[in-house]
Amino acid sequence: MNIIQNLRELFLKIGVPESIVPVCTFALIIVLAVGVIYAILRLLLAIKKINSATKSFYLFVTPWILGFLIFTLGPMLYSLYISFHDWELVKAPTFSGFDNYSRMISDPLVRKSLSVTFTYTFIAVPLQVMLAFIIASLMNMKLEGIKIFRTIFYLPTLVQGVAQTVLFIWVFNPNVGIINSVLRIFGIEGPGWFSDPNWSLPAVIIMSLWTVGGSMIIYLAGFQDISVSLYEQASVDGARSVHKLFYITIPQMTPIIFFNMVTAMIGAFQTFTQGYLLGGGKNNSLLFYSYYLYENAFMWFKMGYASALAWLLFTIILIFTLLVFRSSSMWVYYETEMSGNRRKKNEKKNDK
């Protein structure tokens, strides 16, 4: 901190405007860090501990390493430090030990936000994965003008976040929204959706299916990468379409299903925009965990407690991601290796 303060005073003395002093200080620190790394690499090259190719590699990755240390790892470690403190931003943080973590156990809003987030994740993610897979299988058909339909299904991914939520606030409007208007044609009085705590979360889950076009494109690339010879050989053996689906298509697509499932799950656990724009929903029906974390940090200025909440979310995402990775050996098949039970049986045979 003293070094930063001295640099700040130095810039002020030489006439740098105070508004850009922080930027100049940060830029100088980055330049000095790069210079130190460059000097170390030159020294290692001179004493022949590394070759010129290795030196070039580390020089090229230095910007990414510095960015990761400064903007990712550094803030993460500092948030871990802050999570053991009581800090309301306007005064210096005071050490509180595990008080923030023990407080989460008795906080009813933590339980509510976790319930909303888990419900959304475990319903929305499977629906997104399956719907994107089905649409991609249809878009893989060899039909005239199919590229137009691929574009139509992909375009909604360009309207995400705030724009998507604002759009669906009107779509789900109980009085003039298109959903309830269509239902009235069939004599059905639609629910209040976002104004009804029982329908708020289902509405957000339906809304999440709007952007499955992004996953659809990835599935489509996977479909087109499957060798046609596999289907031809299966046809010669008398396999029907359903057999080809379950014994060729799905096994060949499991790596892509695995990728889309992991990324969708991580994103679902961090859902924030819908809860923020809808104010947490009626009776906290849309109190997503990330939104509750935001409230503590930037509305109630309980930065220490918010940091503890953030680390709980990180732990939850890490655990479920590891569980999915752990289970992948049983159902994900790669072309270069055997998977699942076959791999385990071969390992047992080799042990014997």
Q: pLDDT tens digits, residue range 52-104?
A: 899 889 889 988 888 898 889 989 999 999 999 999 888 888 999 999 999 99
- Quote the number of domains for the chain: 2
Question: Are the beta carbons of 290 and 274 closer than 8 angstroms?
Answer: no
| Count of residues in the chain | 352
Cβ-Cβ contacts under 8 Å for 113 (sequence gap 6 or more):
284, 287, 288, 289, 291, 292
Question: DSSP string spanning 100-136?
Answer: HHHHHHH-HHHHHHHHHHHHHHHHHHHHHHHHHHHHH
Radius of gyration over every alpha carbon of the chain, rounded to an integer in angstroms: 27
For residues 126 and 72, membership in a common domain is answered with: no
pLDDT of residue 347: 53
Please check whether residues 63 and 161 belong to one and the same domain. no
Q: Which runs of consecutive H residues, i.e. helices, occur in 209-299?
A: 213-225, 228-236, 241-244, 250-269, 273-277, 289-294
The CATH number of whichever domain residue 241 belongs to comes to 1.10.3720.10
Sign of the Cα pseudo-torsion (36, 42, 47, 48, in order):
positive
Instruction: Please tell me whether residues 29 and 115 are part of one structural domain.
Output: no
Could you please report the per-residue DSSP string of 57-80?
HHHHHHHHHHHHIIIIIHHHHHHH
Task: Output the pLDDT for position 89.
Answer: 83
Same domain, 344 and 248: yes
Out of 23, 52, 82, a domain closes at 82
* Structural domain includes residue 94: no
* Same domain, yes or no: 19 and 147: no
Asked if residue 142 is part of any domain, the answer here is: yes
Four-point Cα dihedral 89, 90, 92, 97, nearest 10: -50
Predicted local confidence at residue 21, as pLDDT: 78
Task: Give the residue-averaged pLDDT of 23-30.
Answer: 82
What is d(CA 165, CA 272) in angstroms, rounded to the nearest whole number?
11
pLDDT for 348 equals 54
Residue 168's nearest CA partner among 128, 208, 212 is 208
Same domain as 70, residue 22 = yes
* Domain-located, residue 97: no
Last residue of a domain, one of 25, 49, 82: 82
62 and 137 co-located in one domain? no
Q: Are 165 and 278 in contact (CB under 8 A)?
A: yes
Check residue 76 and give its pLDDT.
93
346 Cβ contact list (under 8 Å, min separation 6): 338
Q: Same domain, yes or no, for 29 and 169?
A: no
Whole-prediction pTM: 0.84
pLDDT, tens only, 168-183: 999 999 988 999 999 9
- Domain range for 68 is 2-82
Residue tagged 């991580």 (tokens): 266
pLDDT for the residue 350: 53
Structural domain includes residue 88: no
Instruction: Tell me whether residue 314 is in a domain.
Output: yes
Residue 92 lies inside a defined structural domain of this protein: no
Confidence tier at 30 by pLDDT (50, 70, 90): confident
Whether 343 shows a pLDDT value over 80: the answer reads no
Residues 176 and 110 both lie in one domain: yes
- Give the whole-angstrom CA distance, residue 292 versus residue 294: 5
**CA 117 and chain centroid, separation:** 14
Pairing of strands 94-95, 85-86: antiparallel
CA dist., res. 42 & res. 38, Å (int): 6
For residue 313, which amino acid is it?
A: L
Residues 266 and 217 in one domain: yes
Query: CA 301, CA 299: separation in Å to the nearest integer?
Result: 6
For the stretch 259-303, pLDDT in tens is 999 999 999 999 999 999 999 999 999 999 999 999 999 999 999
pLDDT for the residue numbered 241: 86
Residue 45 lies in a domain: yes
Is residue 340 within 8 Å of 330, Cβ to Cβ? yes
First to last CA, the chain: 62
Pull the structure tokens for residue 268: 């679902």
282 and 197 Cβ atoms separated by less than 8 Å: yes
The angle, 0 to 180 degrees and rounded to 10, between the axes of the packed helices 250-269 and 213-225 is 160
Residues 238 and 124 in one domain: yes
pLDDT in tens, 144-172: 889 999 999 999 998 888 999 999 999 99
- The rounded distance, in Å, linking the Cα atoms of 45 and 56 is 11
What pLDDT score does 14 carry? 83
- Contact yes or no for 335/321 (Cβ under 8 A): no
> Per the domain annotation, does 235 fall within a domain?
yes
Q: Are residues 249 and 295 in the same domain?
A: yes
The per-residue pLDDT for 239 is 87
Q: How far apart are CA 275 and CA 269, in angstroms?
A: 12
Q: Phi and psi of 21, rounded to 5°?
A: -60, -45
CB count, 10 Å around CB of 251? Answer: 18
pLDDT of residue 339: 47
- In Å, how far from its chain's centre is CA 322? 15
